[in-house]
Amino acid sequence: MTDILLEEAARQFDIENFLPGQRDAITSIFEKCDTLALLPTGGGKSLIYQLPAVMLDGVALVISPLIALMKDQVDALAARGVRAAYCNSTQDELEQMKVLSAAVTGKLKLLFISPEKAVSHSFLQLLSRMNVSLIAVDEAHCVSKWGHDFRPEFRQLHVLREVLKAKPPICALTATATGQVIQDITASLRMTNAKVVRRSFFRPNLEFSIAYPQNDGEKEAMLLELLEMMDFRKGPGKCIVYCSTRAKVDGVSELLRNHNFRAGKYHAGRTSGIRERTHDSYSIGKLNILVATNAFGMGMDDPDVRLIVHYQVPGSVEAYFQEAGRAGRNGNPARCVLFYMNGDFVTQNFLLGQERARKSGGEALLQIMRNYGTSTICRQKFLCGYFGEVVANCGKCDVCREDGKPAHTAEYLVALAEKKKAREIKSTHTFAAAEEEIVRGALKRYPAIFGKGIIAGLLHGSKAKDLLKYRLVSSEFYGKLSHIATEAIVKFLEQLIEQKQIKIAGQKYPKIYLADFPPDSPRGRNGKSKLRKTEKSQKEVSPESQLIRDLKNFRDREARKLKWKKFMVMQNAIIVRIARSRPNDLKELIAIKGFGSAKAERFGNEILRIVRACDSPAFPS
């Protein structure tokens, strides 16, 4: 069987030899065993399901979160003569039905599908009519609520095999998973006696290191110096600079272009067309540096990346190792540099607050990332150890080069201890009765409007941008306690919170107020906010505004139902035109610029019903 596998791999995929782990995983699938393949980035995971899909009778179902890359995978297979297609929300209903019909009638060997579509009622009805050879779950760490990229839809994927009479094997694939995540994946997918195929996480050609910039200016200088030193103006190879936010991607890419580097930017805030063009420019070498969020990289196959820079600390070791692992896939020496700054953890905590509803254990994952940045053991030893693998020192990282005593890490830890001591000294202050009354006065003036940081900055007289933004520099309380450090005021507020004299409103953006002076009391906010709310509630909403709101609600509902982007149903400008012209019938609706007969046929009757429900006459254009 082994010789047959290698012959078919050579014929169909130009593979001369299997990479470590591939043969075992592929053989396991042919033995109809559930299989979890845990291979590092660049370990050849896609061949594990593609080769059996080509050789087995029926269609292989490939569940992938990588909608942007499905087309690339299908095109690459088509170029090799493999009948493959994808089905996701980028296609209209007709395109999706054509693809699914081909799968049902046995015209496909592989069907790539998004998890959202895979668990939909309409797909599950069709699935029972397909001859499914295997179910492959790519990026399987998304299944686990303990993973770094949890996707709730992945938890429902076990229903796929349940609706099939023949029970095909399930193959789950990922580059990063701890023991806890592995257990969660196999349990959630209801894999039976799953064979776990592992390959070492150790990457002998990668040089890991950490830099400790003190501020944003120093961080920018370090990045420019690193790119100059590695000759990224004219030298070979590529570089990816990872940032945590879109705003930072925009800023860093502009910095690099201003210094004449061939840098592009990639994040989810850009249109799919621009992202595709940027990716193409990077792939063909027109750009050799890409500044990106984690929206870029999953499933990529660039062999000549010789530098990965994490400009901001990522949210977990899993995310870091997967992104850093995109370096040196051709086996040549490559560097992975992490810029470690305390301020980056503030950003990650903010992002964590936004994701808390769908993700568990984020704080613990972030703490391990802190530990990595302050550790003085071999970088690869730390990373591999996190995934349960014991390895020897790599001999290449910054720690190994300095015999386990990296001076820059030691300097950072000393500076960190000194800052902590200075903060403790600053936060030490005994508040007099008059000073306490000033604090209480500020909280009465702004109940449940600001958090403790802004209140402390207000009283101290800080010139932070938030105080300027909210025009608090003109407040009667601005600088009233300028002789007391901000840290001491924050500490005093925290003491009052512990004593339950101050309460907190809101979870995402906590705001504080006095327990005996709540914002909804008759005295709250000096009566001003209550008055404004009353006045606002008495203001009549214009008929046009109400109609626009109703049409937007309809648009949003349809977009969710169809899994379309909102603009694909109706753009805001079209909604405004409809609200102003108030069409009486389909003919008048079609005449509105940008609407068209296809949308009128699909949504027209409901839109006309919404327009008629509005009592007032049409507004002039």
Percent of the chain predicted with pLDDT > 70: 88
* pLDDT for residue 537: 43
* pLDDT for residue 502: 92
155 falls in which pLDDT band (50, 70, 90)?
Answer: confident
* pLDDT for residue 357: 42
**Sheet arrangement for strand 334-339:** 206-211, 334-339, 305-310, 238-242, 289-292, 263-266
Comparing 617 with 200, the larger pLDDT belongs to 200
Residue 18 DSSP symbol: P
436 falls in which pLDDT band (50, 70, 90)?
Answer: very high
Tell me the per-residue pLDDT of 312-367, one tens digit each, with 9 for 90 and over: 999 889 889 989 988 998 889 999 999 998 888 877 877 766 554 445 566 788 88
Tell me the per-residue pLDDT of 549-567, one tens digit each, with 9 for 90 and over: 889 989 888 888 887 778 7
* pLDDT for residue 110: 97
* pLDDT for residue 413: 66
* pLDDT for residue 109: 97
Domains of the chain (ranges, CATH numbers)? 2-198 (3.40.50.300), 206-418 (3.40.50.300), 433-537 (1.10.10.10), 543-613 (1.10.150.80)
pLDDT at 615 over 90: no
Tell me the per-residue pLDDT of 506-552, one tens digit each, with 9 for 90 and over: 765 688 999 988 886 555 544 444 434 433 444 456 778 888 988 99
pLDDT at 571 over 90: no
Residue 60 DSSP symbol: E
Tokens for 189? Answer: 């997918």
Chain mean pLDDT for the chain: 85
* pLDDT for residue 280: 81
CA distance 243 to 264: 13
Residue with tokens 């029926």: 58
**β-pair partners for 110:** 60, 84
* pLDDT for residue 588: 86
CA distance 279 to 481: 53
Tell me the per-residue pLDDT of 411-428, one tens digit each, with 9 for 90 and over: 766 666 676 676 677 778
* pLDDT for residue 620: 42
* Cβ–Cβ < 8 Å for 552, 569: no
Tell me the per-residue pLDDT of 14-44, one tens digit each, with 9 for 90 and over: 888 898 899 999 999 999 999 999 988 777 8
* pLDDT for residue 581: 87
CA distance 521 to 391: 63
Model pTM score: 0.64
Tell me the per-residue pLDDT of 261-309, one tens digit each, with 9 for 90 and over: 999 998 888 887 788 788 888 888 899 999 998 867 655 667 889 999 9
Percent of the chain predicted with pLDDT > 90: 43
Backbone φ and ψ for 140, nearest 5 degrees, come out as -65, -15
* pLDDT for residue 40: 81
pLDDT at 91 over 90: no
Helix axes 407-426, 486-498, angle to 10 degrees: 70
Longest dimension (CA), the chain: 87
* pLDDT for residue 99: 95
Average of per-residue pLDDT across 194-220: 91
Tell me the per-residue pLDDT of 96-119, one tens digit each, with 9 for 90 and over: 999 999 999 999 999 999 898 999
